[in-house]
Amino acid sequence: MERRAKDERIRQLQQVCRERGLALTAQRRAILRAVLDAQDHPTADRVHATLARRHVRVSRATVYRTLESLARLGLVSKACHPGSAVRYDRRIDRHHHLVCLRCDRVMDFSDERLDALPVPDTRRVGFVVEDLRVQLRGICRECREQEDEK
Amino acid sequence: MERRAKDERIRQLQQVCRERGLALTAQRRAILRAVLDAQDHPTADRVHATLARRHVRVSRATVYRTLESLARLGLVSKACHPGSAVRYDRRIDRHHHLVCLRCDRVMDFSDERLDALPVPDTRRVGFVVEDLRVQLRGICRECREQEDEK
DNA sequence: TTAAGTGCAAAAGCTTTGCGGGTAG
DNA sequence: CTACCCGCAAAGCTTTTGCACTTAA
């Protein structure tokens, strides 16, 4: 993520904290920064590892708690994932995912036509839609190459 | 799921096993049946609990292993989920999900226009798409009512 | 007969919680 | 000063693995 956008997000964090009377701690800033720097959809544990590599000492519990808060505040999002750990996503704008059915990897994918998709009516089930994402499910290049070898 | 469709899926299991030289065990049939009976997207542990309630004794390890196989064989699918456990989905046809950003629940949603969505071109990233699903992200009725109380 | 599948038990991986002490506002 | 937050350590889920035994084909 570019410097600009990252700083902007940190500023959002400041603002949201002030609005809600939450404390803006060094840990929160560091954890948000680590997610923004990740290319993929890191787990809480990977965020913790990234911070450790940077010699930022934050306890695991705090990482778990903080990521949950950041997601609730809308400063990061949760990636829906076929795997067995919560994944966080620095992207909070509309975008889409390629989901590999072999290796369970999830990659970002952008497409204007998908972005323009009108939100269907879900009032009949009492659900209020805020955004949508399309999952394209299939087989990634690496998995196909592996299977071709056989 | 209706009786018909369920029996059909069990028959698919038989056929796939025969084709690939896999053993068609009582456990596999029972585990598949349990997923087909679930209304939601059960975790492996919930499938295990369902079987226990039915006095079908299968070890946890077998449930985990078998669900993974069934998904790989295409007899069930994995539901992409924001939570911290793998979720299985009896539906293998095209359908969509409502994802609640408060409680992380995922509900099925059907919509013809979404079904008709053309699959975008992903060849440039070497990814072969087999199917797509749309996630409608928002707040479910229960969570909205809870927030209104405050 | 035999390759594949199962159960068990232990280990590994992921997440939450309670509580005492620390700190931003 | 005082909520709110953090670190720690323990407990609680979720999943995988190695191995000996069983079973479908």
| Tokens linked to A130 | 């805020």
Question: Is residue B7 domain-shared with residue B66, that is, in the same domain?
Answer: yes
CATH of the domain at B136: 3.30.1490.190
Mean pLDDT value of segment A50-71: 97
CA A49 to chain CA centroid, nearest Å: 17
Question: Is residue B60 domain-shared with residue B105, that is, in the same domain?
Answer: no
State how far the Cα of A53 lies from the Cα of B135, in Å rounded to an integer: 35
Give the range of the structural domain holding residue B107, as residue numbers without chain letter.
Answer: 93-149
User: Which pTM was predicted?
Assistant: 0.94
Q: Does residue B135 form part of some domain?
A: yes
- B23 DSSP assignment: -
pLDDT per residue as tens digits for the range A87-110: 999 999 999 999 999 999 999 999
Question: Is residue A58 domain-shared with residue A97, that is, in the same domain?
Answer: no
Is pLDDT at A47 greater than 90 in this prediction?
yes
Q: Does residue A14 form part of some domain?
A: yes
Q: Which of B48, B84, B128, B136 is nearest to A67 (CA)?
A: B84
Question: Is residue A59 domain-shared with residue A97, that is, in the same domain?
Answer: no
Residues of B in contact with A82 (CB under 8 A): 78-81, 86
Question: Is residue B45 domain-shared with residue B101, that is, in the same domain?
Answer: no
Q: Which of A84, A79, A78, A82 is nearest to A101 (CA)?
A: A82
CATH of the domain at A26: 1.10.10.10
Number of structural domains (chain B) is 2
Question: Is residue B73 domain-shared with residue B100, that is, in the same domain?
Answer: no
Residues of B in contact with A64 (CB under 8 A): none
Task: Tell me whether residues A127 and B135 touch, CB distance under 8 A.
Answer: no
* Domain limit, last residue, from A54, A79, A104: A79
Cβ-based burial of A63 (10 A; exposed 0-12, middle 13-18, buried ≥19): buried
Question: Is residue A20 domain-shared with residue A73, that is, in the same domain?
Answer: yes
Question: Is residue B74 domain-shared with residue B44, that is, in the same domain?
Answer: yes
* Domain limit, last residue, from A79, A113, A136: A79
A99, A106 Cβ separation under 8 angstroms: yes
Question: Is residue B137 domain-shared with residue B113, that is, in the same domain?
Answer: yes
- pLDDT the model gives residue B61: 98
As averages over each run of 10 residues, the pLDDT of chain B (150 residues) reads 95 96 97 97 98 96 98 97 97 97 95 94 95 97 82
User: In the structure, how far is the CA atom of residue B48 from the C1' atom of nucleotide D18, in angstroms?
Assistant: 22
User: In the structure, how far is the CA atom of residue B139 from the C1' atom of nucleotide C24, in angstroms?
Assistant: 32
Burial A37-49 (b: 16+ CB within 10 A, else e): ebeebbbbebbbe
- pLDDT the model gives residue B101: 96
| Tokens linked to B57 | 């004794």
Cβ of residue B111 closer than 8 Å to a chain A Cβ: yes
Q: Name the region of B21 (left: φ>0; alpha: ψ -120 to 50; beta: rest).
A: left
SS3 A99: strand
Q: Does residue A134 form part of some domain?
A: yes
State how far the Cα of B150 lies from the Cα of B146, in Å rounded to an integer: 7
B106, B79 Cβ separation under 8 angstroms: yes
